[in-house]
Amino acid sequence: MGRKSSQRTKDRNSRRARKANQRGVKPRANAVTIPGSTRSFEVELKSPVQGFAAHAAEAGNPVQTLVYGTCTVDNGEMLYELLDAIGETFLYPTLLKLKISSDSLSGFVVVLRGSKAKVYLNPDVALKIAYKGEKPINKGEVVTQQDVADVELLEFPNVPIPDDACVVAHIKVQWRPVLYFDFSPNIEGQSGRGTDYRRLMGQLYAKTAYRGLFQLKQHVAEQMFLDGWFPFVRLLPKRFSALQKAYEAGFSLDNAVKSITDYCDADRIRRWSGLWFSRGISEEHKPFIESALKNYETGDYLATCTALMPRIEAIISEMGAEAVTFNQKELIKRVERVANDRHPDSNLFLPAMFKQYLSAFYFKNFNAQDAAGDIPVSRHSVAHGWVRAVGLDKKAAVQAFLILDQLAFLM
């Protein structure tokens, strides 16, 4: 079985190599070893690559060209068509010569200047993340997905990528392939790439690793907001995913909510709180937060909520360098503005969505005359004394702490 499989791979690579040679690829030089497990080789083409054909066209007819862009499994067959074209142009002849199966590759980077390309196989990948672990981390320690608050940039530390070079990059994220390409420097009149590969690769990584989050439907999100839930960084990915699936399937939320409230115990929230003030929350709010924590530890969730819910507004009003304001629409905009200024490469903080959440839940209005109706838990109903005690339960207290924690990450 193994011999047949190996022979099929050789035959496939041989066919690809013949096809690639017809396209004008002339591999040169042998593979060399560079730091890490990356291997590289050089390829010289007959003419510079300027992009991919966006559609079929007969000879002599105009065709649109994809000069730069990204592609994932959500693009369907197009992803695999582009990968195959890249393989035929840059990889397959040399892979056959080096006796490397294309199936063994976890990724590659092509750095192209004119018609000369250097191909790096299985490059090391470095992510720039926001760390949410509850203890300091030392160099060399394992970082899990549970430790990641945000994914910002992705780069290849062992691959030199000049600003004026074309780039093609392919990696697998949780087995799903992603692709980035930018041939702008090969276009006449262009002096450099039209995109930041580190930023776009970071986006690709985040949207693939947190696929469910980025497929959250608007009507599901709106219902979650009304119920006080958001993709808080402390709940990503596992706990929020379970909650999202319950909403989407129309199942009972009890188990997912209990998992969250059990996770957010007093000891854990106290560890989180140790970082809030170093991130930018004023020490003036510490007595109120300490009081809320002590009440939470004793199970007095009503007192926890009444201490925190109004205080959150004051914390928002102090975000950024702008003057303190009491205009709630401006406060909501301020959160998004500060988050975008402080974290321009963020992919998981979702400031635009958080703005919607604050409007739908935290600053939600109520009708005081509807005494028999359902008055929601919000900053207004708590501060004005109209909320019912039954609504200020452990879930409401946890949500208040999670809002506070999210604001600290955005500062």
Length of the chain: 411
* CB within 8 Å of 193: residues ≥ 6 apart: 68, 163, 164, 165, 166, 167, 182, 184, 185
Rounded Cα gap, residues 359 and 265, in angstroms: 27
| Arithmetic mean of pLDDT, 111-131 | 94
pLDDT of residue 372: 57
How far is C-alpha 295 from the chain's CA centre? 35
Render pLDDT for 280-302 as a digit per residue (tens, 0 to 9): 899 999 999 999 999 999 999 99
Q: Do residues 119 and 32 lie in contact, with contact meaning Cβ atoms separated by under 8 Å?
A: no
Q: What is the pLDDT of residue 286?
A: 96
Lowest mean pLDDT of 51-60, 118-127, 158-167, 271-280, name the range: 51-60
Mean pLDDT of 112-140: 90
Calculate mean pLDDT across residues 6-20: 48
* Contacts for 86 with CB less than 8 Å, ≥ 6 apart: 110, 168, 170, 179, 181
The lowest-confidence range among 13-22, 125-134, 385-394 is 13-22
Q: What is the pLDDT of residues 64-111, one digit of tens each?
A: 999 999 999 999 999 999 999 999 999 999 999 999 988 889 999 999
Question: In this predicted structure, what is the pLDDT of residue 48?
Answer: 93
User: 58 near 138, Cβ under 8 Å?
Assistant: no
Of 9-18, 32-41, 397-406, the least confident: 9-18
Query: Could you tell me which residue, 144 or 80, shows the higher pLDDT?
Result: 80
For residue 340, is pLDDT > 70? yes
Highest mean pLDDT among 1-5, 125-129, 319-323: 125-129
Mean pLDDT of 387-399: 94
Tens of pLDDT, residues 156-208: 999 999 999 999 999 999 999 999 999 999 998 888 998 999 999 999 999 99
Predicted local distance difference test score (pLDDT) of residue 373: 65
Q: Which of 3-12, 44-53, 175-184, 245-254 comes out lowest in average pLDDT?
A: 3-12
Model confidence at 37, pLDDT cuts 50, 70, 90, reads low
User: Which residue is associated with the tokens 């000069």?
Assistant: 67
| DSSP-derived 3-state class of residue 129 | strand
pLDDT band at 9 (very low <50, low <70, confident <90, very high): very low
Q: What pLDDT, in 10s, does the model give residues 295-321? A: 999 999 999 999 999 999 999 999 987
Exposure class string for 198-236: b at 16+ Cβ within 10 A, else e: bbbbbbbbbbbbbbebbebeeeebeebbebbbbbbbbbb
pLDDT number for residue 193: 93
Instruction: Taking residues 241-264, report their average pLDDT.
Output: 98
Mean pLDDT, the chain, as a whole number?
Answer: 88
Q: Two tokens at 302?
A: 């009503």
Q: What's the average model confidence in pLDDT over 370-374?
A: 64
